[in-house]
Structure 1
Amino acid sequence: MAAKPVLATQLNSLHWPIRLTRAGMIAETCLRAFWPLASVVMLALAALMLGLHEMLPVEVVWSGAVLTLLGGLATLIWGLRQLRWPSRALALARLDETLPGRPINALLDAQAIGQDDTASTALWQAHQARMAARAAQAKAAQPNLRIAAADPYALRFVALLALVVALLFGSIWRVGTVRDLGPGAATAMAGPSWEGWLQPPRYTGLPTLYLNDVDDDEFKLPQGSTVTLRLYGQPGALTLAETVSGRTGELPSAADAQQDFVVTQSGELSIEGTGGQSWQIGVIADTPPQIAVAGQPEIEPDGTMSLPFSAVDDYGIAGGEVRIALDLLALDRRHGLSANPDPRSEITLDLPLPLTGGRSEFTEYLIDDFSQHPWANLPVTYTFVAWDGAEQRGEAPGFGATLLARRFFDPLAAAVVEQRRDLLWARANAPRVAQIIRTLTHHPEGQFRNPSAYLRMRMILRRLESYTVAGLTSERQNEIAEAMWELALMLEDGDVGDALERLRRAQERLSQAMRDGASDQEIAELMQELREATEDYMRQLQRQAEANGDVMEQGEMPENMMQLSQDDLQAMMDRIQELMEQGRMAEAEQALQELQQMMENMRVTENQQGQGGSEGQQAMEGLADTLKQQQGLSDQAFRDLQEQFNPGAGKGESEQNQGRNGGLGQGQSHEGGQGGDSEEGQPQGGSQEGQDGNAQSGQGQDGAQSPGGSLAERQQALREELQRQQNGLPLGGSEGGDAARQSLEDAGRAMDGAQESLEQGDLAEAIDQQAEAMERLREGMRALGEALAQQPGQAGSQSGRNTARQGNRMDPLGRNQPEGRDGAGDDGSRIGEGSAYRRAWDLLEEIRRRADERERSEGERGYLQRLLDQF
C-alpha cells in the first residue's frame, strides 16, 4: 500500500506536463475537425470586409449568403463527427512516449515475482527510483498541427490570404451593412435607376460634372458640352425628353439605355419615369477671338522687326497667323519699282503664343528678320488672324505700315541693296541692274575700301550679264540676289583692318544715318560702333607708341595746341549723342566732324629715356606678342575643326599664308597693316610682320612658338613662355601688378586646359579654352598698363613733339615699298592709292578684255575665264 502514495506523489509532479500535452492533443483534434468550417468563415468575412455585397447585385449576394450558411452548417456537422476528446490516460501515454525507456509506464507497473525476496524487492525499488527520476524531467509533448494530408489543396491558406487582404484593404465596418440585405434592400442595392455626365469641351479646361450630384434645377453649360445618360431597369421604364440639342430628323428612341448628345441651345432636359428628374439648362455662348495690332513696328539694332499685337478669347487662343501683303497703292513706283512685279505670294507667319500662363488675354510681339526679303522697307499690309479651340476665327483689319528691315548707311552698300531689291522685284530689271553695277565699277577709285568688294561686284556683274543673255531663271535670280546681299554686308560691316579707317567708316555711317533720319535704336548702335572704333584707334596708337619708344599726345592743330585724354573723347561722344537725342542733328554732325579732325591729328612724341623703352613697356610688348601667337593657334585650331566637318575647307592655306595675328589663314591682317582679303592668297604686309615677329619670338624667347610641331606642343611652348613673362613682371607688390599676375595665372590655366583638349583631339573645347586664355591675357595687359600709367614720374619724362615713325610697308607680294613723295608709305588701303593695287586692276581689265575677244582660241579664252573666276 505504500507504493500507491509514492506513485501518486510522483504523478502529481507531472501535473502540468500532462495538462499541456492534453491541451495540445485537443488542439490537434479540433484543427483536424473544424479547419473546413474556419475556412468558410474566413472567406465570408473577407467578402464582407471588402464590400463585395455592396457591388454585386442583391440576388447574387443573397445566393452567396445561402451557400455560405449551408457550407458552414455542413462543415460544422462534419467537424463534430470527427471530434475525439483526448482522455488523461492518452495524454499520459503521449507524454511517456517522449521519455527514454517509458518511465511513466514503468512507475505504473507492479512487481510480479520475488516480492518475498529482499534482494529482488530492493532491485525493484531501485529501478522505480531511477524511472521516477527520469519521469521528473518530463516536458509537455508538442502537438502535431500539420494537416496537409487532410487539406491537400491548401484551401485553408487561400481563405487566410483572403482575410489578410481584407484586413489590409477593406474595413471591418462594412460587415455592419449586412443589415441592408433585409426586405426591400434589393432595390437599394441596385443603385440609382439612371446616371448622367456633363462634359464641357476640352479646350475650355472645365471639369466634367456628375448629373446625379447636381442639386439645382437650373444651371448653365458651355456651348458644345456633351451630355451622356444611362438608363437602368426595364426598357421603357425611363425615357428622355430634351430640347437642348436641337436635333432634327430621325432621332434615337427616347427609351434607349444610353443617350449621347451635344448641347447647342438653351432648353429643358428631363428624365421621365419613376425616380426621374428635370432641369432647365442655359447655354454659355463661345465668343470668337479678338486680335488687334497693339503698337507701331520697331526695328532692332540687329535688323529684326518687332510688332506688338494683343489677343482676347473667353477660353484662350489656340493659334494664329499673320499675312503680310505688299501695299501697291502706297508704294512709290519709281526707278526699279516702276516695272510690273513678278508674282510673289504673301508672307504667312505663325503667331507666337505665350509659353506660360493663360492665353485668354495676352500681348505678344511678332519678331522676325525681313532684311533679305524683296519687300524689305516697303509699305505692306499686316493682317492678323486668331482662332480658338472651337475653330472660330477672329481677324483684325489690315494694318498698313512699312516692312521694317535692316538699313544700310554705307552709300555703296545701300546702292547694292537697292539694286538687289529691283532684281528681285522683277526679272525684267536685270539689264537695268547690270547697267548700274557696271557704272559703279567703271571708275572704282575712291568708292571701294576693299579690293575684294570690287572684284566680287565685277564677278556678280559678269554672272548677271551672262544669265540675262541665257535667260534669268528664278534659281539664278536668287543666286545673284544672295551674292549681292553678301557683297552689301561686306561693304557695310566688312572688317577694315586699319583702326583709323574703321574710325572714319564709323563716323561716316553715323553722319549718313543722321542725314537719313535713322531710328533711335540705329543711332544708338552706330554710336556704340563709333565708341568701339575710337577705343581701337587709341589702342593702336598706344601700341605704336610703345613699339617705337614714344608716348601719345594730341598733335598740333591749325591754330593752337591742345591735350586730348580718354575722358575728353568720351565727353565729346556723350555730347554728340545728347545732341542727336535732342534732335539737333546739324550741331551733332558738326561736333562729329570736329571729333574726326581731332582723331586724325593724333600724334606721338618721342621718349627720351632710352632706346629700348622701360621694363614695363618691354613686358607689355612681350604680352602683346604672346596674345598674337595665341590668336594664331586659335585660328589654326578652328580651321582644323572646319576640316573635320568640311574636308578641303582649308585648301590653299600654308605656313606662308599668314592669318590673323600670325596664324595660318586667308591673308587678313588683324592689327595694323592693310585691311581686307589679299589677292592670290599672298600675305598682307601686316601679316608678314606678324609672321616675322613670331619667328623672332620663337628664337629669342625660349621658343615660345616654333614653326613646326603639333598644336598641343606649340600650345605648351606658349604656356612656358607666358610663365617666363609672368615671373619677370615688373611692379612687384603693387595692386596693379597683383591684378596683372592674377589675370596671367588664369590665362595660364586656360592654356593648360587648351593643351589637354588638343592632346585629346577635342578641338571645340580647345578653342573655348584658348578664347578664355586670350581674354585673361587682355585683362592682364589692361591691368599692367593702368599700373604703369600710375607710376610717379611717368608723365614728366615726355617732351617734344614729332610725328610717329612710319617704317617701310609691304606690298601684296611681301616686298618693301619705297616712301612716296610726301614721305608716307603707299599703303594701298583704298583703290587708286596703292600702285600695286592699281597694277592689279590694270591686269584684271586686260585679262577681261582678252577673254572677250572672239578671235582667240577656245583654250586660251577658257584659261582667261578661269583666271577671272578666281576674282
Structure 2
Amino acid sequence: MSQEPESPLSAPSSGEKDLAQLHLGRKLWLARLALAWERAWPALWPALGIGGTFVALGLFDVLPVLPAWLHAIVLVAFAAGVLYALWRGLRAFRFPGVPPARRRIETVSGYTHRPLTLAADDLAGGRDDPKARALWQIHRERVLARIRALRVGLPAPGLARLDPLALRGALIVVLAIGTVVAWGDGLNRIARALSPGVGFTKGPAVVDVWITPPAYTGMAPIFLSAGKDDPARKNLVLAGAGATGPAIGGPAAAAAPVVVPEGSTVLAQLSGGWGTPKFVAGGFEAEFKPVADGTWKATAVVAPGTSARNLVVRQGTGDVASWPVAIRPDAVPSIRLADEPGTSSRGAVRVDIEGEDDYGFHGAKMYISRPRIELDTDDDEGEEAALKKFNASRVIDLPLPGSSVKAIKETSYHDLTADPWAGMEVTVQVVARDGADQPAVTDPVVITLPERYFRHPVARALVLLRKRLIFDPESREDVWNDLVNLGSIPGSFNNDSVVILALQTMARRLGSDEGLAAVDEVQKVMWETALRLEDGQLSLAEKRMRELQKKLMEALNRKDNAEIQKLMQELEKVMSEFLKEMMKGMKDMPQMAQPFDPNSTTMSPQDLQRMLDRARELAMTGNLDAARQMLSMLRELLENLKNGRFAQRPQGDQQSMQMLRDLQDMMKRQQELMDETHRRSQDGSRNGQQQDQQGAQRQEDLQKQLQDLLRRFGEMQGKVPKSLGDAELAMREALKELEQGKPGQAVPPQGRALEEMQRGAGELMQQMMRQYGQGRGRGPGRGFGRRQQFGALPRLLDPLGRPLPNAGNSASDDVEIPDESDTQRAREILEELRRRAGELGRPLVEMEYLERLLRRF
C-alpha cells in the first residue's frame, strides 16, 4: 500500500488558495486533452495508415504507371477506405469530462485516497456544528496544498496492442525513403498520383528550343531539339535520371557551342516527362508555364551581360536537355571620317565616312555646330525664337547602304549654300548607331561651309540683303528700301515677271509686319529669287535631282521595287532637265566655258542616261547592291560636273586606260576562241586541218597582242604584273596544242590564260591608282574627261574609264557590277520564272517555290 505525501504543517493563505485553484484547473484541462488523444489516436490510426500507404505509393511514382482506368479505381478505393475508417473510428468518440480527468491525475500522481474527488465534495452533515465545519475546512486546505505536486503524464494511446505486427514502423520507414527519392519533386508526384491519366503515359520529355536573334543582326533563327528518337535518353528518363540531349545534327553538333547574340528571344517547349520544368541559362532562371495537357512553354530574353556557357532545361531533379552556348555581345560600332569634308564642283559639302559594326549600322547623322552668335535685335518677343533657330545645330541624315552591311564606305553630298552659316567656320561630327542603338562618334572637324558666288549683279545684291537681314533683323526698313529700288529697274533682270513679283512680295511683307515673323519667309524667297536670276531653272532641277537621289537610295535599302522603278523614271526626267538647263546656261554665258582641249571630250547626256538605264536593269534583276553602286557613281559624276564637262585627265592616265580597254578586248576574244575550241572538241569534227589552223592563227595573234601590251606597260610603269606573264605562257601552250590538232587539250590552257588576264586587269588598275590616284573628283580639275561608250567599257570600269573597285563612293568596294551579258542572262532567267509562275497547271509545291523566287523582285 502506497504512502501518501506528507501534509504541510500549516494551512495555506487565501492567495495561495487562489493559485492552487488555478493550477488545478490547468492540470484538469491537460488531463482531458491527454485522454482525448488516447481515445482518438486508435480511432484515427486505420485512416492514417491507409492515407500513409497512398502517400508512399505517390512518392515512389507507382500509380502513374498504371492504366488510367486502374489508376482511377485505386484512387477511389483509397478514398473510400479512408472515409470508412474515419467514420468507424470517430462515431463513438466523446471528449472526456472532468471526473475522468481527476481520476487520471490521481492515478498518475500516486494518490490512493482520491484527494481531488474529496476536494470536490461538500460537508454532508454537521453544517450547523462550528467544530465540524472547521475540521472540514482544514481538510480541504490540506488537499489544495498538495495540488502543486500533481502530475498529468504523457498520453499512452496503446497502439502496440492494436498493431502487434508493428506495421506503423514499416510505414514510417517507407515514407522516409520515398521522401528522399522524391526530394524536390514530391508535390508534383503526389499531384500525378491524384490525377489519373497524367504521368508516364506522356512518355519521356521532348524539348524544342527556338532562339530568335534580334532582327537587326540579320541572323536566321536557331532551332534545337532533344529527346526525339533517342532510346538511350528514353531509358534514362524512365529510370528517373537526368540526361543531356543533343542538338539537331547529332552529338557533333551538340559539342560545338551555339552562338547566341545578346537580345535574342529564347522560346522553349517541353512535352512529356514529369515535374515542372525550369529553363536555366547561367545565373538566369525562367519557369515553364503549362499551355496544354503535358505541354509547357517558357520564354526568356538573353539580356546584355549574360554569361552563360550552357542552355539547360531542367525537370524534376535532373537536366532533360542541355546545349553549350556562346553568348555573343553586341560590339560597339566604329565610325570615322575617311577624309576631311570637302566641296564638290557644284558647291555641295562632300562627306566620306567609313565604319564597321558586327551587325551593321541602322542610322547615321551629321551634326554641324558653331559658337553661339548674338543677333542685333530689340524685338523681345521674337528674339528668343530667332536666336534659337539661328544657333541650333544642324542635323543631317546621312545615307547608308543598308542595315546588313557590316563595313561601310559611303560618300554623300549636301547642299548647304542656302544655310545662314554658309561661309562660316563650323564643327562637323558624325554619329552613327547600330541596331542596339549604340552610338559611334567621329572626331570633330572644323571646316568652312561653302558659300556660293553669284555673278548676276541683282542676284548678288539679293544675297547681300539676305545676309544683312539675317544678322541685323532690325534693318528691315533699309532692306525694304533696297528691294523697292531693285524692283524699279526691271531691265537689270530682263523684265522677268517672276522676279518682279517676288521683289514686290518681299517688300510688302517687310513693310507690313512689325515683328520677325516675316523675316524667315523673306530670306527663303530672296535665296530662290537669286538662284533664278543666276541660272534660271538649273538650281531648282539640281535640288530636285538631289532629293530624288536620296529617296532612291532609301528605296533601295527598303527593297521596294515598285517605288524604285517610279523614282528611276522621275530621276531620268529631272536629270534630263538639269543637263538641258546646264547646256542652256553655257550658251547664254559663253565666257564661263573653259577652253576646249582636243585631248578631252565632254560627257554626253547619253553617257549618263546609259548609266541610269543600267542601274534600272540591275534593280529589276534583283542586284540591288550593284544598282546602288552604279547610282553612287552617277551621283559622283553629276556632283562634279562643271560647265558641262569634266576636266582633262593626265595623259599617262589616258594611256593606261587605253591599255585596259585593249586588255578587255583581248579577254573577250580569248573567251570566244575558247568557246569555239570547246565546241570543236565536243563535236569531234575537224573538217580537215583548216579550222585547227584558223584557231591556231587566232591564238597566235592574241599572244602577240598581249606581248605588245606587256611591252608598252613595262615602258610606262616599269613593272609588269606577273599574272599577265602567266597568261602569255598559257596562250603559248594553247597555241602548241592547236597546231598539233588537239583542240580538247587546248581548252584548259586557254581557260588559264583568260583567268590570268582577268587577274592582271585588277593588278593593272591597282598600279594605276597608286601612281595617278583614284580621281575621286573633290573639286574642279580632278574629274575625268574622256568620253566613253558605256556598253563597250571593261566590266570593272565606270563610264569615264575609272576602276570600280575602291571607287570610294559605295558601302562595299568588293561589289562587282555585272556586265551587260550577265544582266541580260539575269533578265532572261527572271522572264522564264515569271512565265512558269503564270502556268496554272503546275504543281502547288512548284508554284510556291516560284513565288518565293520572285518575291525579291
TM-score by length of 1: 0.31
Greater relative contact order structure (CA < 8 Å, 6+ sep):
2
